[in-house]
Amino acid sequence: MKKHYILLLIVGMSMLMATSCGFLEDYLDKAPESGLTEDIVFTKYANFKLFFDAVYNGRKYYNNGWRDTWNYACCTPLYMDCWDQKYCINSTTDACDQGRYMEGQAWKSGNMSETIISKLCFDGSRRPVLGACFDDIRICNMAIRNIYRVQDITEDVKNDFLGQAYFMRGFFHWTLFRLWGPFPYLDYVMGPYDETWDLARLPKNDYLQEVVQDFDSAYYYFELCDKIRRDPRGSLDYNAYEMYRPNGMAAKAYKARALLYAASPLNNKNGAADWQKAAAAAWDAIQIAESNGVRILPLSDPSGNDRHLNYYGTPVCEESIWTRVMSFNYTWNWGGGSGAIATMWGGHFMAHNSASGINPTQNWVDKYETKNGWPLNTEADRAAATAAGEYDEHQLFKNRDPRFYTDIIYNGSPAPGWTDGKANIYMDGDKPSELLTTAYNGRTYTGYALRKHWAGNSTKQQNIGGVWADALSRLSELYLNYAEAVNEAYGPNGTAPGATLTALQAVNKIRTKSGMPDVRAEFTGSAAALRPRIKNERCIELSFEGQFYYDDVRRWMDLPQVMSSTLYAIIPQKTSDPEWPDGFKYLRTPLPADRQPAWEEGMYYLYFLNADALKMKTFVANPVW
């Protein structure tokens, strides 16, 4: 008989094994008379490994079938974005539009529902983030409690599993925090009749400090077993060295990330001291990564050894700290257009009416500066850049930050296989171009599509497939974390104790590798002046990866402004008017009303299913919006 433990949405003590033999499936849900004792599971290395590895590959029987979603994949951003209901998380902000109108648009406009929430909690055929996190936290806690019982295991292997268990426990708690806010911190195994199910939430900053402690413990054990990185330096053999497992570098990187969030306006408890801790942790993480052979890849390189390798073309690259490979040798339209990687591009690219697409808004495109570093975020910024001869709305795509050309598909940009090898996204009178026809539901309404993760695969390039990767942590992010924390703690020209880079130098390091000049002098005189440029640099360097923007606008408390903005498109109009030398008019037009965002109190966090929220008294549920 199943024994149910309720901590909000904990639906069972299921140990969700992905094993062909099924030997350990649902071990802790079995009655004692089943014969599956703890000694069977926790004294033999092979059994223990199967038990613990459910955090990476666990399955669950749901809706008449085994689902492969009940594991850490649910918590990885690219995997969350690549599913058939098109919940690209950043499309719920002002960053992009989904093309095909789906439930994510309702999320964006504040029209949430239990249907949407349930798909992020329990639905094994969707992305059951909350349920998987709680089950996997339990696996980690049981592994930590029982690893010392395993008899046929070396100290190094034991320490490696302890490092993984502490890391993944922190990682799952961290994921819950990002989406639902703080919970009780479950660092023990709840008993079958534990009377303390209804636990109070920790304060936000306190909760994040618990996450940090787990990452510290993980690093301690990874260092003991020489797993600061998993592969020999220079190997980059993802499969041979099981690089989907976390390592010591990742423990330091995630500690730095958690402390940055703890210091941010939404969560800050101790003022400048929180920023100082975040700055020190980021610098430490940078030193650990670089001393173990990690390096920042340039934006482009003639040999192809550049930034794109973080996302496709190889399982892992020289900038990788921790990566989850989404696929090996998959087809050009992996997912068939209705799911997986195919959901990132519209129906025209995937030849599938269910493909949706991640289509950057004009608001997002305006974050890409001119090649000489003039901001274009606001109408006043664009007017100043125009007056300086740096920008011309009549030639919208000329002389921009080089990352614009690697990240965004725009009218006339390279598109292998399509007419003239270009992405034709324009209107000729009332006639749409080939990437703008109404034949597919998931067309772009903004005039743009996503290039950053695009390998050139499309219905016109069906020979292109291969590897897509989720860059869970890479070195460039650490420099941006450091720049932000140091700027807030010590100002633009300050440094963390023992560090050799100022905040300004750190952000300029990322700009330099991207082919951009240093931040313009008028933005470097104070922390307040530099802050918007650091935020903008994060948006551009980390665009459409890691769900950073979704998190950043929340921790910065910029969400009300973001969700109250008007989203714009530019659909080029073909013209022979000499005023428009590109042959196209570029006119800013608001997106349709049903594609606009809306701000509601409570949008900082997702809410819970009503039936589950009502079970709790001490735990205060998030407001429904």
Q: What is the pLDDT of residues 178-195, one digit of tens each?
A: 999 999 999 998 876 555
pLDDT above 70 as % of the chain: 93
DSSP-based helix, strand, coil % in the chain, nearest 5: 40, 10, 50
Query: What band does 329 get if pLDDT is binned at 50, 70 and 90?
Result: confident
Residue 25 has pLDDT above 50, yes or no: no
Q: Which residues contact 441 (CB under 8 A, 6 or more apart)?
A: 99, 100, 101, 347, 353, 354, 356
| Rounded average pLDDT over 264-274 | 98
Average pLDDT over residues 572-582: 97
- Rounded percentage of the chain residues whose pLDDT exceeds 90: 80
The pLDDT value given to residue 36: 60
Tens digit of each residue's pLDDT (9 = 90 or more) over 45-82:
999 999 999 999 998 888 888 888 899 999 999 999 88
Q: Is the pLDDT of residue 32 over 80?
A: no
Which residues, other chains included, contact 615 with Cβ-Cβ below 8 Å and sequence gap of 6+? 6, 8, 198
- Give the span between the Cα atoms of 425 and 432, in whole angstroms: 8
Contacts of 287 (CB under 8 A, 6+ apart): none
In sequence order, the 6+-apart residues with CB closer than 8 A to the CB of 176 are 129, 130, 133, 183
Contact 399, 369 (CB under 8 A): no
Whether the CB-CB separation of 21 and 29 falls below 8 Å is answered with no
Q: What is the pLDDT of residue 556?
A: 98
Q: Which two tokens stand for residue 179?
A: 């989406």
Beta-sheet pairing, 408-409 with 573-574: unpaired
Using an 8 Å Cβ cutoff, are 396 and 448 in contact? no
Residue 595: other Cβ atoms inside 10 A: 20
| Residues 6+ positions from 433 with CB-CB distance below 8 Å | 411, 424, 425, 426, 427
pLDDT surpasses 90 at 615: no
Q: Lowest-pLDDT range, 50-54, 93-97, 518-522, 609-613? A: 609-613
pLDDT tens-digit series, residues 125-177: 899 999 999 999 999 999 999 999 999 999 999 999 999 999 999 999 999 99
pLDDT of amino acid 195? 57
CB atoms within 10 A of CB 548: 19
At 192 the pLDDT is 62
Residue 101 to residue 112: CA distance in whole angstroms:
14
Q: Quote the mean pLDDT of the chain.
A: 91
Q: Which sequence spans correspond to the domains of the chain?
A: 27-295+606-611
Residue 369 pLDDT greater than 50, yes or no? yes
State residue 356's pLDDT score. Answer: 87
Neighbours of 277 (CB within 10 A): 22
Q: For residue 427, name the pLDDT band (cuts at 50, 70, 90).
A: very high
The answer to whether 55 touches 139, Cβ cutoff 8 Å, is yes
Q: What is the DSSP string of 114-136?
A: HHHHHHTTT-TTS--HHHHHHHH
Gap between the Cα atoms of 536 and 487, Å rounded: 14
Topology of the domain covering 27-295+606-611: 1.25.40
What's the rounded mean pLDDT across residues 527-543?
A: 98
Cα separation, 101 vs 124, in Å, equals 23
Q: With 60 as the cut, is the pLDDT of residue 14 above it?
A: no
Containing H/E element for 512?
helix 503-513
